[in-house]
């Protein structure tokens, strides 16, 4: 029988009530339920962890050196933070990809800086284009994610107005993410993502499937960060369930329409055949109902 920390602490506190000590009840949440007892975790090393060596102002290590170091560790991938790319070019991206492949490492992501909170439209647009360019380079190296920030609330601004600007910017970036097949990962990096509620206020209005979150467990600085993490997980589970329901509803609607179309086409064909039997050659032909060499579109399916 497996019991949670909450149950254990409650039980031991009750049992000791008659003695000289009582354990206080814990405010922590129960452990998050996992889909399997065998977690499929793949480890990657972030270039940001070596920022003092990779800093382009005075570097003592290149990203190629970083990849070499990672290859000596039991890792599956590296995360190549954009700040440390010597060049933001396709040629440089190709070299990084080839070097990582040679070392049998995947490139998991390319984190970038962004501030979509700013009221300066030109600066905000520049950051949007900045993210789009890095989405293209991330796709070039085979990365699956580009980590982004929302930004910090400007002085004199309201949270509601800043959130509207951030959501609009993310929506625009998601179009590029879909084009390049690279996910955007919004990180809880302080600013207007300092709480689960504020983070979700930016994520929920975005309908694109190409947006996710990158949870930095050290950035929720509340009394119970475990509850904050659980709130994010629960919210995304609910969003996933809603997506499944919508997909099922659409499939049902497609099936119903397919039957309706089949009935209409069948009835029309039967009527045309009956009229042709009566009128004969005098009936004007309907090409769509005539037998020819064109392939029939009977079942295109979802992949058709």
DSSP 224-286: -HHHHHHHHHHHHHHHHHHHHHHHHHHHHHHHHHHHHHHHHHHHHHHHHHHHHHHHGGGSPP-
Short-list 73, 76, 161, CA closest to 117: 161
Residue 219 has a pLDDT of: 78
Residue 33 has a pLDDT of: 66
Average pLDDT over residues 128-132: 98
Residue 18 has a pLDDT of: 45
Contacts of 186 (CB under 8 A, 6+ apart): 148, 149, 150, 170, 193, 199, 202, 203, 211, 212, 213, 214
Percent of the chain with pLDDT over 70: 71
Domain boundaries, given as residue ranges, for the chain = 40-221
Q: Flag whether the pTM goes above 0.75.
A: no
Q: Which of 8-12, 121-125, 174-178 has the lowest mean pLDDT?
A: 8-12
Residue 221 has a pLDDT of: 73
Percent of the chain with pLDDT over 90: 52
What is the Cα gyration radius of the chain? Answer: 28
Tell me which of 153 and 299 has the higher pLDDT.
153
Residue 16 has a pLDDT of: 45
Instruction: Give per-residue pLDDT as tens, 181-212.
Output: 999 999 999 899 988 889 989 999 998 989 98
Confidence category of residue 215, pLDDT binned at 50, 70, 90: confident
Token pair, residue 11, equals 């039980």
Residue 21 has a pLDDT of: 45
CA distances (Å), 24 to each of 18, 168, 175, in order?
14, 46, 51
Strands 211-214 and 77-79: unpaired
Residue 260 has a pLDDT of: 73
Query: Across the chain, what does the average pLDDT equal?
Result: 82
Token pair, residue 263, equals 């009935």
SS3 (DSSP) at 77: strand
Tell me which of 217 and 279 has the higher pLDDT.
217
**What is the end-to-end Cα distance of the chain in Å, rounded?**
50
The span from the CA of 276 to the CA of 290, in Å, is 12
Place of tokens 């400007």: 154
Q: Where are the alpha helices (DSSP H) in the chain?
A: 5-15, 51-54, 63-71, 90-102, 121-141, 159-180, 196-203, 225-279
Residue 80 has a pLDDT of: 98
Q: Is the pLDDT of residue 289 over 50?
A: yes
Tell me which of 297 and 281 has the higher pLDDT.
281
Residue 152 has a pLDDT of: 95
Q: Which CATH architecture has domain 40-221?
A: Alpha-Beta Barrel (3.20)
Q: What's the CA angle centered on 91, arms 87 and 95, to 5 degrees?
A: 90
Q: Residues of 51-66 as b/e, b for ≥16 C-beta within 10 angstroms? A: eebbeeeeeebbbeeb
Tell me which of 202 and 24 has the higher pLDDT.
202
Residue 31 has a pLDDT of: 62
Average pLDDT over residues 82-111: 97
Residue 251 has a pLDDT of: 76
């Amino acid at each position: 029988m497996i019991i949670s920390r909450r149950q254990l602490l409650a039980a031991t506190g009750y049992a000791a009530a008659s003695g000289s000590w009582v354990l206080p009840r814990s405010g922590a949440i129960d452990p998050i339920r996992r889909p399997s007892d065998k977690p499929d975790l793949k480890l990657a090393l972030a270039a940001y962890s070596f920022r003092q060596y990779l800093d382009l102002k005075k570097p003592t290590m290149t990203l190629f050196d970083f990849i070499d170091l990672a290859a000596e560790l039991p890792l599956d991938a590296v995360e190549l933070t954009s700040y440390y790319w010597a060049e933001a070019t396709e040629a440089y991206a190709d070299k990084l990809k080839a070097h990582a492949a040679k070392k049998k490492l995947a490139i998991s992501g390319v984190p970038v800086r962004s501030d979509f909170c700013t009221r300066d439209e030109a600066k905000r647009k520049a950051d949007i284009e900045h993210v789009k360019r890095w989405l293209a380079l991330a796709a070039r190296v085979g990365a699956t994610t580009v980590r982004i920030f929302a930004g910090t609330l400007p002085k004199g601004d309201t949270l509601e107005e800043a959130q509207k600007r951030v959501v609009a910017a993310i929506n625009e970036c998601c179009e590029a993410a879909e084009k390049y097949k690279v996910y955007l990962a919004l990180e809880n990096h302080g600013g207007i993502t300092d709480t689960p509620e504020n983070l979700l206020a930016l994520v929920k209005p975005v309908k694109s499937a190409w947006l996710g979150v990158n949870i930095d467990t050290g950035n929720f600085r509340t009394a119970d960060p475990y509850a904050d993490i659980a709130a994010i997980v629960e919210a995304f589970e609910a969003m996933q369930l809603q997506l499944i329901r919508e997909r099922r509803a659409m499939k049902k609607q497609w099936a119903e329409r397919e039957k309706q179309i089949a009935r209409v086409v069948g009835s029309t064909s039967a009527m045309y055949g009956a009229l042709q039997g009566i009128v004969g050659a005098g009936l004007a032909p309907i090409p769509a109902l005539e037998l020819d060499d064109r392939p029939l579109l009977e079942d295109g399916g979802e992949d058709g």
